[in-house]
Amino acid sequence: MPWHRLRRPQVLKIRGLLEEVYQPATANRMLSALRGVLKECWQAQLMTIEDYQAATNIPAIRGQSEARGRHLSARELRSLFEACSPSSDGGFGQDSHARRRRDAAFLALAYSCGLRRSEAVAIDLADLDLVRGELRVRRGKGRKPRQLSLPPSALPAVQDWLQIRGPQPGPLFCPVLKSGRLQRE
């Protein structure tokens, strides 16, 4: 591809095609890559500074992406917790006892602390301080750590799971095999 021959009209046409096909964030990433290629062409003296500036000085694609996810209603949240309750066997039998306890603790922490899925699965036992009622999120959004207070409503489910999980170091939420045994790494 003779990238150095691209000029403003062609770049605007590419921008229009990207806007039609892709979400704004994806299209803007592609335009950024194109700007980088054109900058290399200019630095290699394959195009003039005027042509480079005209071709790269194009507006970003604006727009709103569709919202991802949704809020759970109180009824839906209650149904999730009921599915994790000890009296519910969900048709899985006794081997799901540990799984239900783990899932209840996961839901309690994720919901009450407002954790993202990736943050909740990355919690290590060392990140949990039940004495002070705190939770350290090491890998939050933007890789920024943060300290959270554990709401009292989450403590029973977490303590229940810890009785099954035990005090061994490692991930707080480990896989539970069909036999009910915990899979530790």
Quick: pLDDT tens for 46-66: 999 999 999 999 999 998 766
Question: Can you say whether residue 38 is alpha, beta or left, with left for phi > 0 and alpha for psi between -120 and 50 degrees?
Answer: alpha
pLDDT one-digit tens code per residue, 13-46: 999 999 999 999 899 999 999 999 999 999 999 9
The two three-digit tokens of residue 122, written as one number: 């990355």
Alpha helix locations (H) across the chain?
8-21, 24-43, 49-56, 74-83, 97-113, 117-121, 155-165
Query: Tokens 């039940």 correspond to what residue?
Result: 130
The model's pTM: 0.62
